[in-house]
Amino acid sequence: MNHTKQEELAQLQARYPNFSPFVLLKLSMICYGAVLTPAALEKIQGSIYAFSSDNAFDIRFSGRKACTAVPGPILLRDGTFVYINYGDPYEDPYQIDWEGGLFLLKEGNTLIDVIDFVPRPEFYGKTTSLGTPMAAVADVRGQKLILNAFQRCRFWEGGHQCGFCAFFTGGQSRGEVNCQDVRETIQEALKEPGRFSEISLSGGSDFSGEPPFSCEVDRYIRVLQAIGENFTGRFPCQLMAPAYPKQQLERIWRETGITSYAPNIEVWGKALFQELCPGKEQWVGYEEWIRRTLDAVEVFGRGKVCTQVVAGVELAAKNGFSDVEAALESNFEACEFFASHGVNFLCTIWRPHRATRLGYRPMPPLEYYVRLAEGLHSIRKAHGLYNTNDDYKHCGNHPDSELERGD
């Protein structure tokens, strides 16, 4: 029997009464997608919600014309925000409408909730002294600034990119970011007091140099030092990068002001890793990736090293699982393992994308993500771990860490 999305939400809320209804709605919106009605899109134009078509990760969105502004992340009533790829094709999406002076989330003609959007930061629309749009230097999610040090990924060479990745598919890559652009963009962003409380730095993987990734490490240090010129001492910043040897991590810690590190493993299990992360397998290897992640705790401290899985691909891949129970058990095993070593193990939600090697394959049912988020949160809590980088105020991609606000 087919149920509406509203009926599904009600059933899951009854089944999991302690699960945040806002995180549940967020998960549903990510799974089903959301599209703007003409009235909502028209209201966005020229408003405080109008984001540009530039983005720091060079993602190609169908239906997103450069001359038409779209909003940033969606804000739910409790402050939870939802990151939607506007313009991507969805089979049965929610609708975002503008009616009666409010943005409304609807399923057909049925009102689901009143929503809002993260307002456009004041530095958007400005350029650096080199003429670079600042929106192309830093993306915005809630209170988080996201910078990309290298707008290309060398794993795509020879088809070794991660199977679920759609980054750097737009054809507008600027390559290495300019440190002066970074310095000036951060300086401008800080003129908006209280707006941002976290910086995230990542980029496409670059295995250049000897040993591999040494050029990338040098680049990250340069960029982090440029960011750090706007601060005194350490500043709240997470580096999301490959799993580096301990001596490289010690150098990054010593020469920059960052506070946390995220070598994302993406999937748990060697066969899945080899299938979906061939570049990471080739240049680091599954066992070595895990060993380096654990070593990083000795550098950054317990709870200041994070890793994640792209939840859902484990049920879509050739070497994946045929049922949700086995997939859940595997992810809980991974979380328990990492948590016992002081590593925050999180999940982000896989969205099929036409530009990826996996392409469009069915997503797991919504209940899978509810159970996964609840279970991961429970395991980390039992180990006394909590997350300050990927909570509801910052990243918006980790439903499990968003549950921490109810602890």
Q: Which residue has the tokens 């795509």?
A: 156
pLDDT at position 389, please?
Answer: 78
pLDDT at position 61, please?
Answer: 46
pLDDT at position 352, please?
Answer: 85
Among 51-65, 122-136, 280-294, top mean pLDDT goes to 280-294
> What's the mean pLDDT in 367-379?
97
Closest CA to 404 of 396, 73, 385, 394: 385
H helices within 258-390, ranges in order?
Answer: 270-276, 278-283, 286-300, 324-340, 366-382
Per-residue pLDDT band for 400 (boundaries 50, 70, 90) equals: very high
pLDDT at position 364, please?
Answer: 94
pLDDT at position 52, please?
Answer: 66
- pLDDT tens digits for range 211-245: 999 999 999 999 999 999 999 999 999 999 999 99
Is 27 within 8 Å of 349 (Cβ atoms)? yes
The dihedral over CA atoms of 243, 244, 245, 251, expressed in degrees to the nearest 10, equals -140
pLDDT at 171 > cutoff 60: no
Among 67-76, 165-174, 343-352, top mean pLDDT goes to 343-352
pLDDT at 145 > cutoff 80: yes
Closest CA to 76 of 50, 109, 105: 105
pLDDT at position 311, please?
Answer: 96
Look up residue 56 and give its two tokens. Answer: 């720091």
Per-residue pLDDT band for 55 (boundaries 50, 70, 90) equals: very low
Evaluate the CA torsion angle 323, 324, 327, 328 in order and state its sign. Answer: negative
pLDDT at 158 > cutoff 90: no
Greatest alpha-carbon pair distance for the chain in Å reads: 61
Look up residue 173 and give its two tokens. Answer: 């890559």
> What's the mean pLDDT in 141-161?
90
Per-residue pLDDT band for 395 (boundaries 50, 70, 90) equals: confident
Please, what is the average pLDDT of the chain?
91
- pLDDT tens digits for range 341-361: 999 999 999 988 877 888 888
Q: Which amino acid is at 264?
A: N
